[in-house]
Structure 1
Amino acid sequence: MPRNLPRQQSDLLICFAVKEEAKFFKPVETGEFEVLITGMGRRNASESIRAALPIVQPTLVLTCGFAGGLNPKYPLGTVLFDEDFDAGLSGELTDLGCISGKFHCAKRVAVTAEEKNDLWNSTEADAVEMESSVIRTICREFKIPSATVRVILDDAHLDLPLDFNALMTSEDKIDYAKLLWAVMTSPHKIPSLVDFQRQTVLASQKLASVLHDVLKARLC
């Protein structure tokens, strides 16, 4: 059974893969909702959403977080979305400057600009992530409308500072011992890691701002 499951019913369930994506999502006076941290990857997302839906019984599910850019025209901080026809969010999201886009749900982190370019050419997707397709497929099984709302963390031109795939455990979690070792053995990458952390903060703040405004609009 996944940990940290929601404990009560709510009309809205908002999913993030990791806590860092939800760090600045602390809206006030935006109505009732439940947050689910699913964990990274398809397996964790599947287990978490299947466990959460019977508890929360939402009428709408959002799968949110970071995405890697595949379309070169979308820079860091661009918020892309894709929704079911009956989710009813496109108007609010478009008004907030978000862009309707296509997502590719991958089994591994796209690390290099070359890898992202290959994915863009093969999938014609605007961004890549690792959970949303699974979550939304399961929502359709439960006949619950859903939408993907994701912010570009690393654009199509950017190589990630580390190969995060090599730092994963068998449960698709970051192995912090491996991360520490990778940093210790490659100290020249520390400036890039610091820059990447700054990008993470900026992207999380932008996503939180959009979600906050969307929830406020739903109350009007």
Structure 2
Amino acid sequence: MALPGLTLVFFAVPEEAKPFLRLRQEYSQAEVIVTGMGRNNSTRSFHKAVERKRPARVLTCGFAGGLDPALSRGAVIFSTLDGSPLHALLLGAGARPGRIHCAERVAVTVAEKNLLREATGADAVEMESGVIQDLCGGLNIPCATVRVVSDSAGEDLPIDFNALMTPDHRLDFKKLAWSLMKSPGKIPGLMRLQRNTAAAANSLAAVLTQVLRG
């Protein structure tokens, strides 16, 4: 039996949501919202959605950079507000509990990830869910952050995505194209990242659909 009541499922970018959208057809009370990257976009999207209709629960989901060296690519990690019934559901779906840090920028290099691990003690890093979870806490809405590791603690990203962002945290595809024209050697790494993130999104979708079954 599916979970009763409205579930809002937040993602930052369409690539994170795509496999879940294919699988969620049987869950008519699950609404997917793609916020855009970063704190401001996620805050704006959250308020707009909750003002329209208060949900029974919120899942804030997507990719994460691994900080714990023990976390392999594709591992699904979660954190919940204290006492949330979502905790047991996520454990049952195969996700593992952990500490997830919400950052202002993409962690690009192994060195950056190591510094974040030392500074925060977190197992993974993302850019939106911490904000949404705090907002849910203020409104007493059950919430879980559910993230899949798209790049492990020992992996550098093939490109510095921070340098390619617009001021409102959207990827500037003209900058990306220019960057690849200047450094075509980065293309294979970027294609590999696309394959890895697609596989990670499938792993995330499998966990989320199991949670929604209740």
TM-score range for the pair, normalised by the shorter chain length: over 0.9
Structure 1 residues 77-116: aligned runs within 5 Å: 77-116=74-113
1:66 and 1:142 map into 2 onto residues whose CA distance is 25
1:32-58: CA deviations, max 9, x gaps? Answer: 111111110011111110111111310
Range 90-99 or range 106-115, more displaced:
90-99
| Structure 1 runs of 4+ with >6 Å offset | none
Asked whether 1:68 is paired with 2:77, we answer: no
Asked whether 1:58 is paired with 2:34, we answer: no
Q: Do 2:86 and 2:142's aligned partners in 1 also have CA atoms closer than 8 Å?
A: no
1:56 and 1:195 map into 2 onto residues whose CA distance is 40
Q: What is aligned with 1:166?
A: 163
Q: Do 1:81 and 1:99's aligned partners in 2 also have CA atoms closer than 8 Å?
A: yes
Letter in 1 for 2:130: S
Q: Do 1:60 and 1:87's aligned partners in 2 also have CA atoms closer than 8 Å?
A: no
Letter in 1 for 2:132: I
Q: Do 2:81 and 2:133's aligned partners in 1 also have CA atoms closer than 8 Å?
A: no
Q: What is aligned with 2:212?
A: 215
User: Which of 181, 187, 192 is 1:190 aligned to?
Assistant: 187
Q: What is aligned with 1:36?
A: 33
Shift of 1:209: 0.8
Q: Do 1:34 and 1:56's aligned partners in 2 also have CA atoms closer than 8 Å?
A: no
Shift of 1:133: 1.1
Shift of 1:31: 4.3
Aligned with 1:81: secondary structure?
strand
Aligned with 1:24: secondary structure?
helix
Letter in 1 for 2:160: D
Q: Do 1:70 and 1:156's aligned partners in 2 also have CA atoms closer than 8 Å?
A: yes
Range 26-35 or range 56-65, more displaced:
26-35
Distance 1:167 1:23, change over 3 A: same
Letter in 2 for 1:58: P
Which structure features the higher share of helix residues? Answer: 2
Q: What is aligned with 1:148?
A: 145
1:141 and 1:116 map into 2 onto residues whose CA distance is 30
CA RMSD between the two structures: 1.1
2:84 and 2:46 map into 1 onto residues whose CA distance is 18
Q: Do 1:31 and 1:215's aligned partners in 2 also have CA atoms closer than 8 Å?
A: no
